[in-house]
Amino acid sequence: MARSRSRRSEPEANYWPGFVDAMATLLLVFIFLLSLFMLSQFLVSQEISGKDTALQRLNSRILQLTEMLALERSQKQDIQTNLAGLTASLGDTQDETKRLQAMLDLSGKNNDDAKNKFMGISGEMDKQKEISNEALARVELLNQQMAALRRQIATLNSALEASEKQELTSQHKISNLGKRLNIALAKKVQQLSRYRSDFFGKLRDLLGNRDDIKIVGDRFVFQSEVLFSPASAELNPEGLPQIDSIADALLKISQSIPDDVDWVLRVDGHTDKTPILNSPRFPSNWELSTARALSVVRRFISRGVPANRLVAAGFGEFQPVDNGNSASALRKNRRIELKLTNR
């Protein structure tokens, strides 16, 4: 009986507070990741919006010309319809004229016959004359109508030719505008490619030939160990001279880039696929890569690079250059990439 009472008096284990803490932590992590995703989407949209503005203006002009062309085609079709109707009316009028002319000829012949055979019958002669005069009047009226129809047809033909010329002009304008758009875009790409080449050339001269700093395609690549300690987003003192040299080179190159070339230097942070130890500051490699990119951008700004010419992006481990698991492969994936590109 004593044992039974002692067991009943022992408190039961309560797991509910631990469960609530775990759910709250998961919720905070989810909200943080969602905020980070929204921030990255905003940065990407800002980068894209500038490119879209010029294209939207050109597309708007092309749309206006296309609408004008459609209107001209509609007017041309109306003119062709009216022309076909008038041509048909002219044909009918010509047929009626021929019929009346035949009646007139027949009436004249009948008059001659009546004169020869029935000289005493004057009422028949008057009747034939009246028919002849009426036919002549109708023929004259039809001739006037035919002349008016011909004038209208000539006017419509002139309007049709003018419409066709204007349609051809609109087509040429659209074609020329498309060519100008392609030429302008190609020119901007060539200009930026030339300045990118000069920029990377200066960096190569400043930093020398190093295995941990190299040019890959259109990007300048730092291995993370050059700038950061493991699991850290603070720039190493040893890496500051390299970042400062890049900032100085960028400032010199930017002075020669025309104002109409809308350029930015994009700083991309990348990590390997080894999970980072969970911490309040860096819950995942994504946060670490973004924080490292921001550290480089802040250093550039402190050296005088305009903030509106800089973009920071973090990619975590999701864009590796080597899919292997070796130490060498992981080291290649831990990197900071710099890319001079259009906004």
**Secondary structure of 165-190 in HEC code, one letter for each residue:** HHHHHHHHHHHHHHHHHHHHHHHHHH
Does the residue 172 lie in any domain? yes
Residue 267 sits in a domain whose CATH number is 3.30.1330.60
Q: How many folded domains does the chain comprise?
A: 2
- Judged by phi (left if over 0) then psi (alpha if -120 to 50, else beta), residue 275 lies in beta
With vertex at residue 162, the alpha carbon angle to CA 159 and CA 164, rounded to the nearest 5 degrees, is 110
Based on the fold, state whether residues 135 and 247 are members of the same structural domain: no
Domain boundary, last residue among 151, 186, 221: 186
Flag whether the pTM goes above 0.85.
no
| Among 269, 281, 275, 284, residue whose Cα is nearest residue 228 | 269
Residue 125 sits in a domain whose CATH number is 1.10.287
Is 198 or 184 the better-scoring residue by pLDDT? 198
pLDDT band at 200 (very low <50, low <70, confident <90, very high): confident
Is 148 or 256 the better-scoring residue by pLDDT? 256
Does the residue 251 lie in any domain? yes
Q: What is the pLDDT of residues 268-314, one digit of tens each?
A: 999 999 998 777 889 999 999 999 999 999 999 999 999 999 999 99
**Could you give the count of Cα atoms lying within 13 Å of 20 in the half-sphere of its Cβ?**
4
Based on the fold, state whether residues 141 and 217 are members of the same structural domain: no
Does the residue 72 lie in any domain? yes
Residue span of the structural domain in which 224 resides: 209-343
Based on the fold, state whether residues 228 and 277 are members of the same structural domain: yes
Based on the fold, state whether residues 173 and 245 are members of the same structural domain: no
Based on the fold, state whether residues 215 and 334 are members of the same structural domain: yes
